[in-house]
Amino acid sequence: MTPDQALDMLRSHIEPGRAEGMAEYHKVPREYLGVPNPAINDLTKAWRGELSVPERVDLAHALWNTNIFEARLAAAKLLTQARITPDQPAWDLIVSWVPDFDSWAIADHAMMAGQKRLVADPSRMDQVEAWTSSSNHWTRRAAMVITLPYTKQNHPKPFEAAIRDRVLGWAAGYVRDPEWFIQKSVAWWLRDLSKHDPDRVRAFLDENGKHMKPFARREAKKNLVE
């Protein structure tokens, strides 16, 4: 499948009038086709079944480079799968996208693909940690989003607990950042963690909550029982 064929398939699902609303909502200047997310899901699911891993990586690379909103979502969805063999080219491609992030929707779809690859090889945390010192707040935010799987364990294995503590260390450094999306990323991480380790979240908030924006503190505490 060529990139042009993939784009034609995406365009076949355009809903008239939808693109204008998307552009207004996302507020980032790029082309929006007006394709609903379920259609992108169906297309990329079919492509994953038809294409080899190298073909998927090549197609994802080409679609991302169009800078079309739905094409970038499709690129991420092509690589969102727990088992990819070999997966290093997929990981390298996902990492290469991080400096391009300029909106939460595209970034989150890309990081959902990245989550699968990070869980497959947790040694990649060293690369992720480098993002936390970036001057780009989208890159700093990506470090929190890609590590969200490590909030999910009730009884984490030792290496999972170590990753959890490592990310909470990043979060402690983020709480003084005034950027809304950074504050939101910390709150999101803590909120998800509170479902599985509420005491750890309470301890974090006792130590760092005073530096968080009020909305972020409220979000982080949403699932905690007072």
N-term to C-term CA, the chain: 55
Three-state SS for 102? coil
pLDDT tens for 131-169 read: 999 999 999 999 999 999 999 999 999 999 999 999 999
Is pLDDT larger for residue 186 or for residue 226? 186
- Yes or no: say if 172 and 214 are a contact pair by the CB < 8 Å rule: no
Q: How far apart, in Å, are the Cα atoms of 45 and each of 78, 80, 129, 172?
A: 7, 10, 31, 38
The stretch 178-204 carries a mean pLDDT of: 97
pLDDT tens for 195-205 read: 999 999 999 99
The percentage of residues in the chain with a pLDDT greater than 90, rounded to a whole number, is 97
The percentage of residues in the chain with a pLDDT greater than 70, rounded to a whole number, is 100
- Yes or no: say if 77 and 41 are a contact pair by the CB < 8 Å rule: yes
pLDDT tens for 70-110 read: 999 999 999 999 999 999 999 999 999 999 999 999 999 99
Residue 226's pLDDT band (cuts 50, 70, 90): low
The stretch 156-184 carries a mean pLDDT of: 97
The per-residue pLDDT for 75 is 98
Query: Taking the CB of residue 13, how many other CB atoms lie within 10 A of it?
Result: 17
CATH class of 123-226: mainly alpha
Q: What's the whole-number average pLDDT of the chain?
A: 97
Query: Taking the CB of residue 72, how many other CB atoms lie within 10 A of it?
Result: 25
Is the pLDDT confidence value at 225 over 90? no
